[in-house]
A = this chain, B = another copy of it.
C-alpha cells in the first residue's frame, strides 16, 4: 500500500480569484506585508497496491482525470510506502 500526496496549483500565468479575495480580507484586517496569495489543493489518499509502478500510474491518472483541471492547473505528487 502507498500513501499519495498530490499538490494541485493553478499555472502561474492564470489569475487566482480565491487567493485575491482572501488577501483583500487580510488587508482589511491589517496584514499589510502579505502579497501574492495563491490557493491550491493538497490531496492525500491511499493506493492499495504493492507495485510502485502501478501506484504511480494510478496516481497520475487519478490526478489528471479528477483531482486537477489539466487546462489550467499543474500537479505534483509524492508516494510513500506504508504497511
Task: Knowing A26-B66, A66-B29 are in contact, say whether A45-B38 is a contact too (CB < 8 A).
Answer: yes
Instruction: Give the residues in chain B near A43, CB-CB below 8 Å.
Output: 19, 37-40
Count of chain A residues with a beta carbon within 8 Å of a chain B beta carbon: 35
Q: Which of B25, B29, B34, B48 contacts A45 (CB 8 A)?
A: B34
Instruction: Give the residues in chain B near A39, CB-CB below 8 Å.
Output: 41-43
Instruction: Give the residues in chain B near A42, CB-CB below 8 Å.
Output: 7-9, 39-42
B-facing mask of A44-68, CB < 8 A → 1, else 0? Answer: 1111110000110010011001110
Task: Knowing A41-B39, A66-B25 are in contact, say whether A34-B7 is a contact too (CB < 8 A).
Answer: no
A51–B66 Cα distance when bound, in Å, is 41
